[in-house]
């Protein structure tokens, strides 16, 4: 069994400040982990994924995430927020080699000028 | 990147009618397509996985006679909600992939908002 907990339903930041979106997972095996972003009226877009290679994963648009097995965490970070980063972000877990994706409930990132 | 479209984007129907939602991969051939349902303020729940030319595999608790899935070609899958009721109102999202495992990225459509009156 696997599950994902996104600790914040909403995160508000000012443009130019760092972003931290928190995600904890539960899995009975070595998981694959993903972050997806969903802009209004757009499909979900893959930001980055971890599949048992380097624990620090770099994604698109300056985002990165670090897999910490001891903390069962996969937090998403960005050094400097941009207005265009405002969207809903989903942390996702999957068993390696299997198609079933288990989604967190999402975190809405709000960016103010 | 790969593009997946859904049609319609929004649909309103009367209770008891059937509604068909199309999912198309526009610039690649999708061996596997997935259908998800998203409730307000909830995460996406996988409903079923379909491979081109074969029957869909439904997740536990999803009625296969209620949610008919057809994957007749490598670029098109359809979800038909039969005899829709207000509790079927939801946001339905499809995704398409080159393969059935998590090493193959799933490309998501923009979703279809279904409202059943």
pLDDT band for position A77 (50/70/90)? very high
Query: pLDDT digits over A3-25, tens only?
Result: 999 999 999 999 999 999 999 99
In order along its 117 residues, chain B shows pLDDT tens digits of 688 999 999 999 999 999 999 999 998 888 889 999 998 777 899 999 998 888 899 999 999 999 999 988 889 999 999 999 999 999 999 999 876 665 677 889 999 999 999
Query: pLDDT digits over A24-74, tens only?
Result: 999 877 888 999 999 887 788 999 999 877 889 999 999 999 999 999 999
Say what the pLDDT of residue A98 is.
Answer: 65
Q: How far is CA A51 from CA A28, A54, A102, B99, in A?
A: 15, 8, 15, 16
Handedness of CA B26, B27, B33, B36 (dihedral sign): negative
Handedness of CA B4, A37, A14, A19 (dihedral sign): negative
**Is A103 in contact with B32 (Cβ distance < 8 A)?**
no
Tell me the shortest Cα–Cα distance from B102 to chain A, in angstroms. 5
**Is A99 in contact with B111 (Cβ distance < 8 A)?**
no
- Top residue of A8, A33, A42, A43 to mutate, by most chain B CBs within 10 Å, is A43
Is residue B33 classed as helix, strand or coil in its secondary structure?
strand
Say what the pLDDT of residue B52 is.
Answer: 83
The residue ranges of DSSP E strands in B3-75, in sequence order, are: 4-7, 10-13, 19-25, 32-38, 44-51, 57-58, 67-73
**Is B108 in contact with A51 (Cβ distance < 8 A)?**
no
Q: Is A90 on the interface with B (CB under 8 A)?
A: yes
Query: pLDDT digits over A78-103, tens only?
Result: 999 999 999 999 999 987 666 678 89
Q: Is A96 on the interface with B (CB under 8 A)?
A: yes
């Amino acid at each position: 069994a696997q599950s994902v907990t996104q600790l914040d339903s909403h995160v508000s930041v000012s443009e130019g400040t760092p972003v931290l979106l928190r995600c904890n997972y539960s899995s009975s095996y070595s998981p694959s982990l993903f972050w997806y972003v969903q802009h209004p009226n757009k499909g979900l877009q893959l930001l980055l994924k971890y599949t048992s290679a380097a624990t620090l994963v770099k994604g698109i648009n300056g985002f990165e995430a670090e897999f910490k097995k001891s903390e069962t965490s996969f937090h998403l970070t960005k050094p400097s927020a941009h207005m265009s980063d405002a969207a809903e972000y989903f942390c996702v877990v999957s068993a390696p080699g299997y198609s079933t994706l288990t989604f967190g409930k999402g975190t809405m990132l709000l960016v103010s000028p | 990147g790969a593009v997946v479209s859904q049609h319609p984007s929004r649909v309103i129907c009367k209770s008891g009618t059937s509604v068909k939602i199309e999912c198309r991969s526009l610039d690649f051939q999708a061996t596997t397509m997935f259908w998800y349902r998203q409730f307000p303020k909830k995460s996406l729940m996988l409903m079923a996985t379909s491979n081109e030319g074969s029957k869909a595999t439904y997740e536990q608790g999803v009625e296969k006679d209620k949610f008919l899935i057809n994957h007749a070609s490598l670029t098109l899958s359809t979800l038909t909600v039969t005899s829709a009721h207000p509790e079927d109102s939801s946001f339905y999202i499809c995704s398409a992939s080159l393969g059935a495992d998590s090493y193959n990225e799933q490309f998501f459509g923009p979703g279809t908002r279904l409202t059943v009156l």
